Amino acid sequence: MPNLSMNSSDPIQQKTWVKEIMNTSVISIDSSVTAADAARMMEDTGIGAVIVLENSLPVGIVTDRDLAIKITAHSFPIGTPVKRIMSSPLISIDPDSDLWIASDLMSTRNVRKLPVIDDDTVVGIITSSDLVKHIADH
């Protein structure tokens, strides 16, 4: 039987923190912004999600999938405020959390994009693609 024990030099066993691989380029928008404007911002910046704020606090997220599915499936007009199509409550993680915690949270809550929040401020985002890339590189 092969030896399946891992030693401490194994990169899988070494802790990696969310802040080490998160993307710090995050766009936040007010909850009154229209779905059309949010979609344009996402296209112009090449990102797949925007964080939705109310009174400067993060309350939700709108992803490219939210735009495609919710606008079409519910026949919402493209001028609908993002507050109506955002995913909420916002599932987020602390920058000092371990990647395994982020991975577990994303898996159990079925989310692909996880905002990183420190003291009610969005400081980054981690995606399932980021996790896969990190694992593949190690």
Q: Is residue 13, in this structure, part of any structural domain at all?
A: no
Residue 114 domain-assigned (yes or no): yes
Total structural domains within the chain: 1
For residues 105 and 93, the answer to whether their CB atoms sit within 8 Å is yes
Opening angle at CA 40, ends 63 and 115, nearest 5:
30
Residues sharing a CB contact under 8 Å with residue 31, sequence separation 6 or more, in sequence order: 52, 53, 54, 59, 60, 81, 82, 83, 86
Specify if 1 maps to a domain.
no
Is 35 among the domain residues?
Answer: yes
Structure tokens at 8: 């401490």
Cα distance between residue 83 and residue 34, in whole Å? 9
Identify whether 118 is part of a domain. Answer: yes
Global pTM value: 0.85
Local confidence pLDDT in tens for the 138 residues of the chain: 444 444 444 555 578 999 999 999 999 999 999 999 999 999 999 999 999 999 999 999 999 999 999 998 989 999 999 999 999 999 999 999 999 999 999 999 999 999 999 999 999 999 999 999 998 887
Q: Which domain holds residue 76?
A: 18-137
Pairing label, strands 121-127, 28-30: unpaired
The enclosing domain of 107 has a CATH number of 3.10.580.10
Q: Are 107 and 93 in contact (CB under 8 A)?
A: no
Q: What is the rounded distance in angstroms from the CA atom of residue 101 to the CA atom of residue 131? A: 11
- Three-state DSSP state, 43: helix
Task: Decide if 3 is inside a domain.
Answer: no
* Residue 11 domain-assigned (yes or no): no
